[in-house]
């Protein structure tokens, strides 16, 4: 597991290096590899955050699909909130609902909570074991099953394959 954490950490650091640097020449590549390798060897073998990730072809495909699903939900929720702001007559029924997740990994639950929070109109207030408490701008369902289906199910389907 420590090797997996180091390898994932290395590639994440290297990708961050390229995104922040903006150059793609051989010198930048060499420096990026050395710095990423050094940092990942020192710090990433002690962390266990990446040990819950699956790296099967199915998980990688689901990650790619998840990004598109997340971006679609992000755009839809932005338009919904903008419509509610620009049309004051539209109903707003704010409240906190309880959502139940089937995700077992801590990282998977954190990614789910952040995905929900990043979509406008929802905010993850608290995570307690397999329960998430979400502030929702327009509460449609208060029972756990339907609220989970409306808020979390679209993300959870993919995260379950990626993080278990």
pLDDT in tens, 12-46: 899 999 889 887 889 988 999 999 999 988 887 67
What per-residue confidence (pLDDT) applies to 54? 78
The pair of structure tokens assigned to 155 is 């993300």
Average pLDDT of the residues in 99-103: 89
The answer to whether the CB of 108 falls within 8 A of the CB of 162 is yes
- pLDDT at residue 1 above 60? no
What per-residue confidence (pLDDT) applies to 42? 86
- Strand, coil or helix: 151: helix
How large is the greatest C-alpha to C-alpha distance in the chain, in angstroms?
Answer: 59
The answer to whether the CB of 115 falls within 8 A of the CB of 74 is no
- pLDDT at residue 102 above 60? yes
Q: Note the pTM of the prediction, 2 decimals.
A: 0.77
- Taking the C-alpha atoms of residue 4 and residue 6, their distance in angstroms, rounded to an integer, is 5
- pLDDT at residue 108 above 60? yes
Contact partners, residue 85, CB within 8 Å, separation at least 6: none
Phi, psi (degrees; rounded to nearest 5) at 128? -135, 100
Average pLDDT of the residues in 61-69: 93
Percent of the chain with pLDDT over 70: 99
Average pLDDT of the residues in 48-56: 75
| Alpha-helix runs per DSSP H in the chain | 2-21, 26-39, 57-86, 106-118, 144-151, 153-163
Strand order in the sheet with 122-128: 95-100, 131-136, 122-128
- pLDDT at residue 64 above 70? yes
- pLDDT at residue 144 above 70? yes
């Amino acid at each position: 597991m420590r090797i997996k954490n180091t390898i994932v950490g290395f590639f994440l650091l290297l990708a961050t290096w390229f995104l922040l640097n903006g150059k793609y020449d051989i010198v930048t590549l060499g420096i990026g590899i050395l710095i990423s390798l050094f940092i990942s060897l020192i710090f990433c073998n002690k962390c266990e955050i990446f040990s819950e990730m699956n790296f099967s072809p199915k998980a990688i495909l689901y990650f790619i699909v998840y990004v598109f699903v997340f971006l679609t939900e992000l755009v839809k929720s932005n338009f919904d909130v903008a419509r509610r702001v620009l049309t004051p007559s539209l109903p707003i029924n704010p409240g906190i609902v309880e959502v139940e997740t089937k995700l077992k990994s801590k990282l998977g639950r954190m990614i789910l909570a952040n995905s929900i929070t990043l979509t406008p109109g929802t905010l993850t207030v608290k995570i307690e074991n397999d329960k998430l408490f979400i502030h929702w701008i327009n509460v449609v369902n208060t029972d756990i099953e339907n609220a989970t289906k409306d808020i979390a199910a679209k993300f959870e389907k993919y995260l379950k394959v990626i993080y278990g």
